[in-house]
Amino acid sequence: MWLENLRMALRSIMANKMRSFLTTLGIIVGVAAVIGVVSIVQGLNFWIAGQLQGVGATYITVFPNRDPNDPDVAGRDVKLTFEDGQAIVAAVPEIASFTPVYFRGERVRLRDRKATPYLLGVGAAFQEVNNTWVEKGRFFSDIDVAARARVCLVGPELADKLGIAAQALGKDLDVGPVTFTVVGVMEKQGQMFGQNYDNIVVIPFTTAREIYGDEAMKQIRLDFQARSADDVQRAKDLMTALLRERHGIRRDQGDDFQVLLQEEILETTSKILGGITQVVGAVVGIALLVGGIGIMNIMLVTVRERTREIGVRKAVGARRADVLAQFLIEAVTLSALGGIVGILGGWGLGVLGAKAIPGFPDAHVPMWAIGLGFAFSSAVGIFFGVYPAAKAAAVDPIEALRYE
């Protein structure tokens, strides 16, 4: 009987292909939007989680608070320096390792080849702290840092650009006004939001300070590893207290820096992504509502057009429940087909959308989104199909058979 109903439904839908398509457009668009956005958001989530997994749960990073709209820091001389980091390492026993991170764009030149990578000025502990390792050659040592050595490492993409991917070590590279010796190539990291972590040149922090001056080192990032994941919260509290004291911040003033833990970064990003999902969810809710009303409308038309058929079916033995089931299944089939088309369309949209933005992580469609899209579109069919189906079931066969 169910199978019969499904066959009847498909036959009726196929008999009016264009009308069926237009009717389900609302549902198609709604489901496609949800799947498209979810696929992109999930792709991002996956990627961010993967990145953070990389630095580990013990990763702590401190930024200067440079928000010009924050009244706490407006008009203040915000500083976050290498010395702050050293003070933290000395005073907070939960901290295992530390590196300053100075970051800027810079021109480099190797004979006639030029490029504009990001320059990172970091400490010898950079590898452990950021879980980013050397692929070939060596990283610079504490001795290099103390000696302000003119040694550098290049990212794999920069090595490509300079044509030294095969044979990088020992080459002389002009970084800004100074010539460095390449001692290593970093491993491939990938991209995030268009920022390319493979197009980099890494030099000792002390050397960077010598070249760019103390003023440039006034606002840098400080990265730490705590000894264990249980320590990070306490470490954060101690670091905050220490930095406030060092920066002479009064009780009534807010911080001029920001301490972020890995789980907080994860929380923040998933909050943002969750917000996006919610907005899309609301839009989709409206689309499904409109789609559902479209289905109800077309089913009411169908019931009226097929009043005679309903009369015939009742005359040969269809019960009310049979007629109800037939039209309800037709409505659900219609909306579920719309859902399937929407899922496929949204999937395609997400994949293409993610590909279209350079450096964007691949789209990922989770099973639950597919299930949800299908379930929602079917539920819309049931909800908005009940009334027309009930009308069909209530048709008086005598009237119906007279109906022209």
Partner 1 sequence: MLIDIKDLVKVYQMGDNQVRALDGVSVGVSRGEYIAIMGPSGSGKSTLMNLIGCLDTPTSGVYRLNDQVVNELDDNALARIRNKEIGFVFQTFNLLPRTSALENVEVPLIYAGVPRVERHARARKMIDLVGLTDRSHHQPAELSGGQRQRVAIARALVNQPSILLADEPTGNLDSKTGEEIMALFDTLNREGNTIVLVTHEEDIAAHARRVVRLRDGKILEDKAREPKGGEAHG
Q: How far is the CB of 390 from partner 1 (least distance, A)?
A: 14
Nearer to partner 1, 199 or 333 (CB): 333
Single residue of 150, 161, 314, 364 touching partner 1 by CB under 8 A = 314
Least CB distance to partner 1 at residue 327 (A): 15
301 binds partner 1, rule: CB under 8 A? no
Residue 259, SS3 per DSSP = strand
Q: Which CB, 272 or 398, lies closer to partner 1?
A: 398
Of 261 and 393, CB closest to partner 1:
393
Taking the least distance from each CB to partner 1, the nearer of 161 and 314 is 314
Contact between 309 and partner 1 per CB under 8 A:
yes
DSSP string, 66-117: --TT-TTTTTS---B-HHHHHHHHHH-TTEEEEEEEEEEE--EEETTEEE--
In order of 294, 302, 380, the CA distances from 305 in angstroms are: 16, 5, 22
Does residue 397 interact with partner 1 by CB under 8 A? Answer: yes
What gap in Å lies between CA 192 and CA 47, rounded to an integer? 9
- Interface with partner 1, residue 111, by CB under 8 A: no
Residue 306 is given by DSSP the state T
- Under rule CB under 8 A, how many of the chain's residues touch partner 1? 21
Residue of 244, 168, 220, 178 lying closest to 61 (CA atoms): 220
CB of 308 to partner 1, least distance (A): 7
- The CB density around residue 268, as the number of other CB atoms within 10 Å, is 12
Q: Which is nearer to partner 1, 143 or 316 (CB)?
A: 316
Supply the minimum distance, in Å, between the C-beta of residue 295 and partner 1.
Answer: 21
CB of 401 to partner 1, least distance (A): 6
Q: Is 321 exposed, middle or buried (0-12, 13-18, 19+ CB in 10 A)?
A: exposed
Piece of 18-26, 42-50, 310-318, 336-344 that binds partner 1 (CB under 8 A): 310-318
The one among 146, 272, 279, 315 contacting partner 1 by CB under 8 A:
315
CB 303 within 8 Å of CB 391 = yes
Residue closer to partner 1 (CB basis): 245 or 399? 399
The single residue among 254, 320, 357, 368 that binds partner 1, judged by CB under 8 A, is 320
Helix axes 367-393, 262-305, angle to 10 degrees: 20
Stretch that binds partner 1, among 17-25, 49-57, 214-222, 393-401 (CB under 8 A): 393-401
Q: Who contacts 391 (Cβ-Cβ below 8 Å, separation ≥6)?
A: 300, 303
Asked if 319 touches partner 1 (CB under 8 A), the answer is yes
What is the Cα–Cα distance from 118 to 101, expressed in whole angstroms? 12
Residue 166 lies near partner 1 (rule: CB under 8 A): no
401 scored as a contact of partner 1 (CB under 8 A) = yes
Classify residue 112 by its DSSP letter: T
Cα gap 215→369, rounded to integer Å: 51
Q: Is 342 in the site for partner 1 (CB under 8 A)?
A: no
Q: Is 239 exposed, middle or buried (0-12, 13-18, 19+ CB in 10 A)?
A: buried
Residues 122, 128, 130, 134: is their CA dihedral positive or negative? positive
Closer residue to partner 1 in complex, CB, 1/367: 1
Among 161, 171, 313, 391, binds partner 1 (CB under 8 A): 313
Among 308, 348, 366, 379, the residue binding partner 1 under the rule CB under 8 A is: 308
Cβ-based nearer residue to partner 1, 1 or 143:
1
Q: In angstroms, rounded to a whole number, what is the distance separating the alpha carbons of residues 227 and 327?
A: 65
- β-strands 172-175, 108-110 pairing: antiparallel
316 binds partner 1, rule: CB under 8 A: yes
Rule CB under 8 A: is residue 330 a binding residue for partner 1?
no
CB nearer to partner 1: give 20 or 42. Answer: 20
CA end-to-end distance (rounded Å), the chain? 28
391 scored as a contact of partner 1 (CB under 8 A): no
- How large is the angle between the packed helices 262-305 and 307-315, nearest 10 degrees? 80
Check binding of 19 to partner 1 (CB under 8 A): no
Which CB atom, from 325 or from 351, has the smaller least distance to partner 1? 325
Quick one: 19 or 111, whose CB is closer to partner 1? 19
Residue 150 · residue 180 · CB < 8 Å: yes
What CA–CA distances, in Å, run from 236 to 92, 241, 261? 9, 9, 8
Under the rule (CB under 8 A), what is the footprint of partner 1? 1, 4, 11, 15, 308-309, 311-322, 397-398, 401
